[in-house]
A and B are shown apart, each in its own frame.
Chain A
Amino acid sequence: MRQNIASGFNDQVSLVRALKANDDAVLKILYRDNYPKAERYVLENSGTEEDAKDVFQEAFIAAWRNIQLDKFYPENETALAGYIFQIAKFKWIDRLRADKKNRVISIDETIRPWQKENEENESNDDDFIQQVKKSFKNLGEVCREILSRFYFKKESLRTIASHTGLTEATARNNKYRCLQRLREMVKTT
């Protein structure tokens, strides 16, 4: 039987810390161990592998985002795996609903684990984040490199400087300028 990633951590703090640090190995195992169940569910409910991939990745990102924002604090690996699966399932049901030709099995609709109170604010925040993602794609390669190293890989400015051939002070300035540019691009779109 396969086991989820969190089994490797003795406590909830380590798991959340690894996810907040975007630990590559943890994210990978989390994906690998939980995707098959979501795929089975989608395939058994009129979907394709491509649909399964879409909803699972959306669910994965939604779960990741809520952990980053301290909106969800998984107690253990089962809770985390269940959370991702629930999101994927509801997302797939919502898609089927949108397509009137399909009929869906009846389930309890009252729970949307990733959506809670303040839905209007959350929707505004989500719009803003989507805009950031679009603008980030159009940012220059150098800026994308610096910002992703600093914020996603959590590299220090010294490490970034050594990889890019800049001084630490220039790396700091560039990081600031790149973030400002991204902010301006989001505002003007």
Chain B
Amino acid sequence: MQEMSAEEQAAFEHRLAGDQVLQFKVNEMKLLIIGINESMLTQKLEIFHEEVKTATPVRSIQSVKKYAYRKWLAAASVVILAGITVFYFATKPSLQEQLYQTYYSADPGLMTTMSSASDNYTFEKAMVDYKSGDVWNAIESWEQLQTANPLNDTLNYFLGSAWLKLDHQEKAIPYLQQVANKQASVFNADAHWYLGLALLQQGNRSEAVAEIKKSDHPQKGALLKDISNMNNK
């Protein structure tokens, strides 16, 4: 409604007044949006509460009155700080990060035949998305399948691989852990390798080493040696 001109809005409201089906649809849409927003607001309130309980310094009356001005200043500070931080880390990545970048190479994915069986089709279409770089779409499809089959090692392995491809190591770890715990899985050894790399990138060296040792990756020995050298620095 906010994007309509006054004339369009008046015409829409006129139509709405005489059309019960449209009224229902508009109301349903409104409630869907309220529900989405309340879900997000609920999460926000938990964060605000933590801040209240950890005694965030109270803003003065004057500073509140200058809220709009301060907001821009704060935003500018955040941008500058973020810029400095990004610059610092871009120019000086941690040793773990350097090793991760050296040894990580995305899983190339599986061959696809685009079977007509519905679940296989969804899986394989997602695999095409994964390989062509449309990783968000792949994750979306695999997540749906994984919800119905939470223990499926193929889905868990490729969800982990997809999150790694997007540089979300923290999201990849739980999926890869499931496959790493499943010795019978054909993806078990690879899951150990990628899990080890993800843990390394996250700064968890000891667990990373344990996982990498269980993999059979050709670069396993070299990576373990580099981590050992890093520990000695």
Chain B residues within CB distance 8 Å of chain A: 27-28, 30-42, 44-45, 48-49, 51-52, 56, 58-59, 61, 64-68, 71, 74, 134-137, 139-140, 143-144, 147, 166, 171
Contacts and interface: CB of A to CB of B under 8 A. Distances in A.
B40 A164 contact: no
A9 B42 CA distance: 25
Interface of A: 1-3, 5, 7-9, 22, 24-29, 31-32, 35-36, 53, 57, 60-61, 64-65, 68-69, 125, 128-133, 135-138, 140-143, 147-148, 151-152, 164-166, 170, 174, 179, 182-183, 186
Instruction: Decide if the interface of chain B is mainly helix, strand, loop or mixed.
Output: helix
A183 B24 CA distance: 13
5 contacts: A68-B37, A132-B35, A136-B39, A140-B139, A165-B135
A137 B166 CA distance: 22
A133 B39 contact: yes
Contact of A57 (B42, B56, B61): B42
Interface hub of B37, B51, B140 (most chain A Cβ within 10 A): B37
A31 B52 contact: yes
Top-9 shortest CB links A-B? A132-B35, A8-B67, A140-B143, A152-B40, A142-B140, A31-B48, A3-B61, A136-B39, A129-B35
Contacts of A61: 38, 41-42, 45
Contacts of B31: 125, 128-129, 132
Contacts of B45: 31, 57, 60-61
Nearest to A1: B61
Contacts of B67: 5, 8-9, 25-26, 29
Contact of A179 (B32, B65, B140): B32
A141 B28 CA distance: 23
